[in-house]
Chain A
Amino acid sequence: MDALLIIAAWTGLAALAAWGMQRQAGATAPLAAPFLGGGTPDTHAWQRYHFRPYTMALVFIAFEMEMMFMYPWAVVFVREGAKALAEMGMFLGILSVGLLYGWREGIFRWQ
């Protein structure tokens, strides 16, 4: 309960500050034009944006999901000792194969 109150309070305060301080008045067309060093664009900037490391993003999601298992593991690691070490070693070992494969296929860069 406290946690939710704290989160709500900080978020609310910050949003109020942002709302109160900023005034986005309607600008004239030349003032609103996007900055291109004096140049002009043909189209809106919003587009089907080509996000280059898309394969990386997919692998990242899988890897991150796996990391979530490690938090509870960390808590009992010292108490469980070698068993915990072996199990997590196996788990991480399996997943490192995925990373190695990704690295060999060259996904960790702009496609």
Chain B
Amino acid sequence: MSWLRTLAAGAAAPIYPSIGAGMLAEVEQLFASAPGLRRAASPRDAALLLVAGDIPAEARPALDRLHDQLPHPRRTLAWKAGEPSTQISARLNEAWRDLAHGAPSEPDRLPDEPPNPWRGIGPHGQGGKGMMGGTPRGRPMAMTGADIRDGLELDRYTARVGPFAPMLPPGLTLELTLQGDVIVEAHVLSLPFPQPEEADLPALCAARMLRLLGLEGAADRMTRGHAPRAAWIRGAVPAGLGAWPGAGDARDRLDAWLSGRQEGGAPRDPARALPGLEWHEATLLLASFAPGTLRRALAEAQDLQEIPA
């Protein structure tokens, strides 16, 4: 199958970036302009894990989990601040060519243990008893709770999302409880990583929202510094989403960015606004604030909450 490997080596390198402190803007520029690189939507679609910038010690376990979710063959590359993007781009391309030609894959970083022991437990060895009991195949089943919109007692799914989730600002970890695709509870576990001021540039902020609206091409175009070519950009953002006094709503902020202005207002405790929102609305809301603004607002809210306790 060497012809298949030769063919594959010529393809764009599929990369999942895990973005650390200070590298958000640079990673975005890299994927918008460097040739031969493709930003994968999830690690399953990637062969290379790009670790950009410094990853704080708290985020290391998450990085290990992410690493192990890349299918074989896989390889990790670190991109430290200061290395020019042409150089990292060349390294990434070379690593992909190696992998395509059969270079060895990296082993798992975490031990091969299920989240809970289950083998041999229960009447059929599936790890559980009865209809809902035990930990069938290693995990318990979700249990019911009342919904905040219509009160139906359906299951609540609790998970921690982030810090390297593609739809959240890098570094932000949320503990979310979902009913269907609506968030019924949200807590901030870790703040977004600090980013340099250039990450707050209007064009980059607008591009992040465009990506969430499915306009990959237009977002790349904005990142490269041109006006986007797309229809229904404003209209696609629901009116009134993420409205704060003095900060307008998400649509206003996108408008401001599209016309090259920095948005002015800051939200108060944005995480509190998440419950009650559908998933897409929630991601749009978080993306409708510049990373720096969002980080400050989340940090302030955390300080506030710690005092009365």
Contacts and interface: CB of A to CB of B under 8 A. Distances in A.
A49 interface: yes
B164 to A, nearest CB: 4
Nearest to A49: B180
The binding surface of chain A is classed by DSSP as: loop
A37 B165 contact: yes
A29 B112 contact: yes
Given A29-B115, A30-B108, A37-B164, A43 B141 contact: yes
Contacts of A38: 18, 59, 62-63, 65-66, 162-165, 173
A36 B162 CA distance: 6
B142 A37 contact: no
A30 B110 contact: yes
A36 B159 contact: yes
A31 B159 contact: no
A31 B114 CA distance: 11
A30 B65 contact: yes
Interface stretch (B146-154, B228-236, B242-250, B293-301): B146-154
B154 A50 contact: yes
Contact of A36 (B112, B147, B150, B160): B160
B157 interface: yes
A19 interface: no
Contacts of A82: none
Interface string B243-273: 0000000000000000000000000000000
A28 to B, nearest CB: 4
A30 B108 CA distance: 7
A47 interface: yes
Given A47-B155, A48-B155, A37 B66 contact: yes
Contact of B278 (A28, A42, A48, A110): A110
Interface string B107-142: 011111111000000000000000000001111111
A37 B157 contact: no
A42 B113 contact: no
Contact of A40 (B63, B65, B147, B278): B65
Given A50-B152, A110-B182, A41 B139 contact: yes
Closest 5 CB pairs of A and B: A37-B165, A38-B62, A50-B180, A39-B160, A30-B68
Given A36-B161, A47-B142, 5 more contacts: A29-B115, A36-B160, A39-B161, A43-B157, A44-B141
Interface of A: 28-31, 33, 35-52, 110-111
